[in-house]
């Protein structure tokens, strides 16, 4: 697939042609395109570069549709933001009804490194996907998917192990 995508992009540039590529495969859309349009029910919700669409989705549909995300209810009470009304987060004044955090934006560690939004949790599932390892970490009955690059430097964890997860407020996206 990688070689085919590379050849198609080379051919398109060589011939100097504009191509409209329609797909439901998000990975294909992001890798093949200079510009992406995300549609839902015939309406264009967002148009931009693959990086813009992925990093700054305009609404919850785009956030869920393009790539993987942790998606939570967000409640602001007494000036504090709460995930699922249980977990207080430093949100840098983000407001909305929902919160999205990409799994690769969450750090996982064996000890508390005192980073922003650090929570103690327990690993409930591990999926080794070759290049990546996905961990499901439960914090106060809230599940977080954490994706880590599987490389020689990666720390390994086990199911039922107590860990600390953290994420920077800049990695959170709030939506209505």
What local confidence, expressed as pLDDT, does residue 67 receive?
87
What local confidence, expressed as pLDDT, does residue 111 receive?
94
CB within 8 A of 89, min separation 6: which ones?
Answer: 81, 82, 83, 99, 117, 169, 172
d(CA 105, CA 166): 9
Strands (E), 59-131: 70-77, 80-83, 87-89, 98-101, 107-109, 118-128
What local confidence, expressed as pLDDT, does residue 54 receive?
94
The radius of gyration of the chain from alpha carbons, rounded to an integer in Å, stands at 19
Task: Give this prediction's pTM.
Answer: 0.87
What local confidence, expressed as pLDDT, does residue 152 receive?
83
Q: What angle do CA 105, 35, 28 make, to 5 degrees?
A: 65
Query: Which stretch of DSSP H or E encloses residue 27?
Result: helix 26-32
**pLDDT tens-digit profile, the chain (176 residues):** 788 888 888 888 899 888 888 888 888 888 888 999 999 999 999 999 999 999 999 999 999 999 899 999 998 877 778 899 889 888 766 678 899 999 999 999 999 988 889 999 999 999 999 999 999 999 999 999 999 999 888 788 999 999 999 999 999 998 88
Q: What angle do CA 96, 101, 102 make, to 5 degrees?
A: 145
């Amino acid at each position: 697939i990688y070689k085919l995508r590379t050849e198609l992009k080379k051919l398109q540039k060589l011939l100097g042609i504009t191509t409209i590529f329609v797909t439901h495969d998000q990975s294909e859309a992001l890798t093949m395109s200079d510009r992406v349009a995300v549609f839902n029910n015939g309406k264009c919700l967002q148009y931009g570069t693959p990086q813009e669409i992925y990093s700054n989705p305009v609404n919850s549909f785009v956030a869920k549709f393009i790539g993987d995300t942790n998606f939570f209810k967000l409640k602001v009470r007494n000036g504090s933001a709460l995930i699922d009304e249980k977990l207080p987060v430093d949100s840098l004044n983000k407001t909305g009804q929902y919160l999205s955090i990409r799994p690769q934006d969450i750090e996982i560690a064996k000890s508390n490194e005192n980073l922003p939004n650090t929570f103690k949790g327990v690993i409930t599932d591990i999926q080794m996907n070759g290049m990546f390892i996905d961990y499901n970490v439960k914090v106060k009955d809230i599940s977080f998917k954490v994706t880590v690059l599987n490389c020689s430097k990666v720390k390994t964890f086990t199911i039922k192990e107590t860990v600390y997860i953290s994420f920077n407020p800049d990695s959170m996206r709030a939506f209505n």
